[in-house]
Chains A and B, each alone.
Chain A
Amino acid sequence: MVFNCLVNGIVLGLTYGLIAIGLTLLLSVLRVFNFAHGELYMLGAVATYYINVTLGINYIVSIILSILIVGIIGIVIERILFRKVRGQLIASLVISLGLSLFIAGGTMIIFGEKSKGVPTVAEGSFEFLNQTVSMERITVAAASIILILGLHLFLKRTKLGIQMRATAQNSEAAALMGVNIDQVSSVGFAIAAALAAAAGALIAPLFFVSTSLGGPAIERAIVVIVLGGMGSIPGAILGGLLLGLINSFAASYLGGVSEMISFVFVIIILLLRPQGLVGVKGVD
């Protein structure tokens, strides 16, 4: 039981982390709050359903296509909606609230109200310390870790990556150095959207696909970034893992009241460490 909770918690937590990383990127590089970020996660799952189940395309290709499609959607959204409100947290919150309703409602008209399933591809299980873990869960975890590592390498080693970090730390100085802030913002949004979509695409076979995935996702992402410390990517990962574990154990051991217990845990952690796990006091 404990082992299962652990595995589930880590898998869930990694996907929470992927969504929260994107939210953090948008907060730090574009200084916008994207309340519609959960909907991008939902779109990743829905796109995977359509490409994999309706069109019958291979699952891995479906994931990649979903990520690309939602990434492009992200670029379009940034250009049309968010570019004008860069740096304005409240305005971006209001706009993205409307956007989230629009995306969720619009998708529901096409997809329908019923949840649908995406078949598992990774068959079998893996023996580990006398316990079994399904291959499914292992692949989700592995894929998430690869994406996170990929992002880390991008930010640390590529020219665009260092531009993004510079813009997040001092956007005026970055502009003075000749950085094209519009370009950095576009790429940042595309990456954030892609990560959320990846989480949705990966989780689709494990649970279910529906157009109501977005709401809980953004709620959890907000809790994660507060837990982990706003503006910190490692914090988003750690916070995601922690919330995943809390939710997983609470669901198993406490059943119905697990959501509430999760929040109680989070409140306790924040009381002890208001800056979050990795955050710095007084920053944002």
Chain B
Amino acid sequence: MLINVDNIKVYRGSIEALKGVSMQVEEGAITGVIGANGAGKSTLLRALAGLSPIVSGGIYFSNERIDRESPQQIARRGIAMVPEGKGLFPQLTVLENLKMGAFLLKDKDEAERKFQEFYRRFPMLKNRRKQQAGDLSGGEQQIVSIARALISVPRVMLMDEPSLGLAPAIVKEVVNIVLEINKGGTSVILVEQNAHMVFGIAKTIYVFETGQIAFSGPTEEVQQSKYVKEAYLGG
């Protein structure tokens, strides 16, 4: 298993947001994490990225313990995150935001090639590259956020509700991007409230409820389970 989460407990303020969560993330797969608001999904990604400290348990990446490392160190391992709320630098230009994504890249020519690749794929990015990121629409910001995380060609992408607040057409585009980067070898942990989106592309799904994992398994199993049917599919 690429990532092993071993019974972690995490606090957000004084609230126990994760109450002993264990997960295995398979290399090369898209792993889905669904659940209601406040169930702890975002906290899980923050713990993986090193932003939220864990009070007990451990997180292992390729059998190495990473839960004591800083976000910078974890980023250097090739774990990239598309945070909740997009996590852009609002007064930096789109290009500067992308450049920050290329921060750890040793080869600057490769970074430039990636920029050109994104401009080709998203002409919007090219047109707006000198604009401040904070001035873009929600959908455009999400594209920038994802593009920025992809520049470093990460081994793992942590995506926190990428479809939130986006028009269906853009959501489709996001789905395509996720499938593409996964085909390229990047493992994806996809946190979403939009369960249908996750059912469509994930191999394994974890269902969170109030800080714990209520149910997990291969997508087909999870989709067919009574639990999920009642919670998500209305019956």
Contacts and interface: CB of A to CB of B under 8 A. Distances in A.
Nearest to B70: A175
A172 B87 contact: yes
Given A162-B96, A173-B83, A178 B89 contact: no
A176 B50 CA distance: 9
A179 B70 CA distance: 11
A170 B87 contact: yes
Nearest to B96: A162
A135 interface: no
A175 B99 contact: no
Interface residues of A, number: 16
Contact of B49 (A163, A169, A176, A179): A176
A181 interface: yes
A162 B103 CA distance: 10
A177 B83 contact: no
A177 B78 CA distance: 10
Contacts of B166: none
Interface residues of B, number: 24
Nearest to A181: B72
A166 interface: yes
B103 A179 contact: yes
B70 A162 contact: no
A174 interface: yes
Interface in B40-92: 49-51, 70-72, 75-76, 80-81, 83, 87-92
Given A165-B89, A180-B72, A172 B51 contact: yes
A207 B81 CA distance: 54
A176 to B, nearest CB: 5
B104 interface: yes
Contact of A170 (B76, B80, B89, B104): B89
Contacts of A173: 83, 87-89, 100
Contacts of B49: 176
Contacts of B70: 175
Interface string A92-109: 000000000000000000
A173 B81 CA distance: 9
Contacts of B92: 162, 165-166, 169
Contacts of A178: 72, 75-76, 103-104
Interface in B141-184: 148
Interface string B91-108: 110001001110110000
Contacts of B100: 162-163, 166, 173-174, 177, 179
A175 B103 contact: no
A180 B80 CA distance: 16
A181 B75 CA distance: 13
B158 to A, nearest CB: 9
Contact of B51 (A162, A175, A180): A175
A166 B35 CA distance: 32
Contact of A172 (B83, B90, B103, B148): B83
Contacts of A166: 89, 92, 96, 100
10 contacts: A162-B92, A162-B100, A170-B87, A173-B88, A173-B100, A174-B89, A175-B51, A176-B71, A176-B87, A180-B72
Given A172-B87, A175-B71, 19 more contacts: A162-B96, A162-B99, A163-B100, A163-B103, A165-B91, A166-B89, A169-B89, A172-B51, A173-B87, A175-B51, A175-B70, A176-B81, A177-B100, A177-B101, A177-B104, A178-B75, A178-B103, A179-B72, A180-B72
Q: Which 8 pairs show the lowest CB-CB distances between chains A and B?
A: A175-B71, A173-B87, A178-B75, A178-B104, A169-B89, A177-B103, A177-B100, A166-B89
